[in-house]
Amino acid sequence: MTTAKTTKKTSKPRAKASPVTPAAALEGFNLTDDQLLTTAQAAALIAMSPKSLRCMRCDRTGPRCLKLGSGKQARVSYRRSDLEAWIRARVVAVQGS
């Protein structure tokens, strides 16, 4: 009687993603151009976390974005001019006391 050996596949533990600092996200990026920014770069530019920016995108309350591709694999990008327009639209005048 023979017994079949079963091999247990072990997967390597995944490394945790390190948080992106604003300086690291924008390193080497020429902000004078109206190029496309990643979510991390856009979040760093408007002093917000990438998670908050993603939540606002889902709620449709955040800045305009571009989706390049289709489905869940679509790449989301932001134009600097759209981010600046979104910020300008939220300026509130506060009267002095």
Sheet holding 75-79: strands in order across?
36-37, 75-79, 66-68
Q: Which domain holds residue 72?
A: 34-88
Residue 44 counted as domain residue? yes
Residue 94 counted as domain residue? no
Residue 70 counted as domain residue? yes
The model's pLDDT over 18-53, given as tens digits with 9 standing for 90+, comes to: 555 556 666 666 655 578 999 999 999 999 999 999
Q: Which residues make Cβ contacts (< 8 Å) with residue 82, sequence separation at least 6?
A: 63, 64, 65
Backbone angles phi, psi at 75, to 5 degrees: -90, 130
Mean pLDDT for the stretch of residues 8-20: 57
The model's pLDDT over 57-71, given as tens digits with 9 standing for 90+, comes to: 999 999 999 999 988
pTM: 0.63
Contact (Cβ atoms closer than 8 angstroms) between residue 49 and residue 40 = no
Q: Supply the pLDDT for residue 5.
A: 59
Residue 43 counted as domain residue? yes
